[in-house]
């Protein structure tokens, strides 16, 4: 597996998928607490399931070596950008090690 593939797989397996699963669990807990699901919660849950499926498909493509280097880099950089946007205002992540895209290439 190429270095790019390994970095992307690691990012998805160790960061993205756990975050998605945690979000799905939180919604199910809220539904159980409320004993019903609002339209908003159902929509969010559907989006999370779709996102999880898309990332599972990317992982499958990595395992089957279907991603070229350019595609892999674009996916990686897009995910990192998305994650950095999510954590921009979160003090909990201020001391976290930054992801160095130079190590990725």
- Per-domain boundaries in the chain: 3-104
Q: Is the pLDDT reported for residue 1 higher than 80? A: no
Q: Three-state SS for 48?
A: helix
Q: Is the pLDDT reported for residue 70 higher than 90? A: yes
pTM to 2 decimals?
Answer: 0.76
Q: Is the pLDDT reported for residue 102 higher than 50? A: no
| Average pLDDT over every residue of 83-98 | 54
Angstrom distance (rounded) from CA 88 to CA 35: 33
Contact 27, 45 (CB under 8 A): yes
């Amino acid at each position: 597996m190429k270095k790019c593939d390994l970095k992307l797989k690691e990012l998805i397996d160790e960061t993205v998928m756990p975050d998605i699963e945690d979000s799905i669990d939180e919604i199910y807990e809220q539904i159980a607490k409320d004993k019903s699901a609002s339209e908003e919660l159902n929509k969010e849950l559907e989006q999370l399931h779709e996102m999880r499926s898309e990332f599972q498909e990317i992982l499958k493509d990595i395992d089957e070596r279907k991603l070229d280097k350019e595609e892999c880099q674009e996916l990686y950089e897009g995910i990192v950008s998305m994650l950095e946007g999510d954590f921009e205002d979160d003090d909990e992540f201020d001391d976290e090690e930054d992801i160095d895209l130079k190590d990725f290439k």
